[in-house]
A and B are shown apart, each in its own frame.
Chain A
Amino acid sequence: MRAVLVDAGGTNIGSVRYALQRLGADAELTSDAARIRAASHVILPGVGAAGPGMRMLREAGLVDIIRGLTQPVLGVCLGMQLLCEWSEEANTECLGVIPATVRRFADIPGFRVPHMGWNGLRLTRCHPLVAGVREGDAAYFVHSYAVPDGDYSLAASEHGTPFAAVVAAGNFMGMQFHPERSGALGAQLLRNFLSL
């Protein structure tokens, strides 16, 4: 196994890398197309906004590289949103490998945005990525934009409205929460990903 973390200037790269190290896996941090193509597993982390996130991928020449990957690819938080088709955040065209759009949480009284904290997961589809996850297990979320629950969901959560927490479309997968900051559940999910 040779996992890589795509370095496109996101800020939670360190945390994801440490989480993998706690599992005994060291992932190289790289923006090199050849190394990304040769990896067994590719993780696209991300904290920030969709516009700058896509711009950094374009400037690094990684848009078509990522679109063409056939090994397991995991987008985390903003990374998951970048795998989708389009984001309402600054009207951004994304990578388009997961057939979903990203929208801002609606203003609903009592539901604060950003959605910040631990929220329960509801399993919607069987998949090895969510093996061992129990109904109601909580993950740590921090985001203002979300993907609506849909056919691509493996697990959903709810914040005034249901939204996709874990998604998969072929070899492209995503987690809206931060597995690296979601305790034992997050470790299990990362282990599952590395076993694919």
Chain B
Amino acid sequence: MLSRRIVPCLDVRDGQVVKGVRFRDHVVVGEIVELALRYRDEGADELVFYDITASPEGRRVDRDWVERVAREIDIPFCVAGGIRSVDDAREVLHAGADKVSINSPALERPALVGELADAFGVQCVVVGVDSLRDDDGEWHVRQYTGDPSRTRALRKPTLEWIDEVQQLGAGEIVLNCMGTDGVRRGYDIEQLKAARALSRVPLVASGGAGTPAHFVEVFREADVDAALAASVFHSGEIGIPALKKELRAQGIEVRL
């Protein structure tokens, strides 16, 4: 039976792993390869590296650290940040990444999703969606969230966008619920359930993990395939071995 995945997310800025609260005020938490190895040893199922400055600054992911990670770790990892073309993606995949994740550039030019799927297969193509509920009560997509001064609220409803990227060729969707991110009160179950209902491809929950119970809840209630978290893992507040033991005890299939 397919296991539910636990995915530590490493936000990368200037070659180091950083973490902010509600996508702002970033502090350095450690060195990339060192953290990658630590999570591998602890039983992480996959890693995601977001180069959070690449997209707003209009530059590409520096491929040097991608290759260093690929040489060292023997679990899958995905790279996001500033991938705007098939050539950009090829460079990152050739450096050893297993998947690429695109977010703001897909909003700039949705056809990119299909171009990547045609070139590398849908299994390589992850679409990250940053989403926030607006005053009208509807979830809408945000763009350039790596830089608060450039973040844009789009009119595009989140659920519409999720449906669209699947049709274009997304092989996985990471839904970053910005309203719950960084405050550790649990994943946005309501929004993730709505996204699950229309996702035929794997769905990854992101934003809000604070306790092991939040992971149990998101797998059980929102039926997501994977749960992503950063600060609770970086700080050591939640250890992955203990988390997986708890999930298994609650009847959720995990790799131990």
Contact = CB atoms under 8 A, between A and B. Distances in A.
B74 A181 contact: yes
A114 B120 CA distance: 13
B226 to A, nearest CB: 7
A98 B211 CA distance: 48
A116 B174 CA distance: 13
B4 to A, nearest CB: 8
B51 interface: no
**Which among B3, B74, B94 has the greatest number of chain A C-beta atoms within 10 A?**
B74
Contacts of B124: 11, 47-48
Contact of A12 (B1, B93, B171): B93
Given A22-B74, A113-B200, A118-B45, A47 B120 contact: yes
Interface in B188-236: 199-203, 225-226
Contact of B75 (A22, A140, A142): A140
Contacts, number: 105
A149 interface: no
Contact of A116 (B90, B93, B95, B225): B225
A18 B70 contact: yes
Contacts of B94: 11, 13-14
Contacts of A178: 76, 98
B165 to A, nearest CB: 14
A70 interface: no
B71 interface: yes
By secondary structure, the A interface counts as: mixed
A67 interface: no
Nearest to A158: B1
B117 to A, nearest CB: 9
Contacts of B67: 14
Interface in B84-119: 90, 93-96, 98-99, 118-119
Nearest to A19: B74
A90 B222 CA distance: 34
Contact of A142 (B4, B98, B203, B226): B98
Interface stretch (A34-42, A54-62, A125-133, A182-190): A182-190
Nearest to A159: B2
A138 B254 CA distance: 10
B5 interface: yes
Interface in A140-189: 140, 142-144, 158-159, 178, 180-184, 186-187
B246 to A, nearest CB: 18
Contacts of A107: 200
A143 B2 CA distance: 13
B127 to A, nearest CB: 13
A15 interface: yes
A70 to B, nearest CB: 30
B151 interface: no
B70 A183 contact: no
Nearest to A181: B76
B52 interface: no
The 10 A-B residue pairs with the shortest CB-CB distance in the complex, in nearest-first order = A11-B93, A14-B96, A181-B76, A118-B255, A114-B123, A142-B123, A118-B3, A18-B71, A138-B255, A119-B2
Interface of A: 11-15, 18-19, 21-22, 47-49, 78, 107, 112-120, 138, 140, 142-144, 158-159, 178, 180-184, 186-187
14 contacts: A11-B124, A12-B96, A22-B74, A49-B121, A112-B203, A112-B225, A114-B201, A116-B225, A118-B2, A118-B3, A118-B45, A119-B1, A144-B171, A181-B74
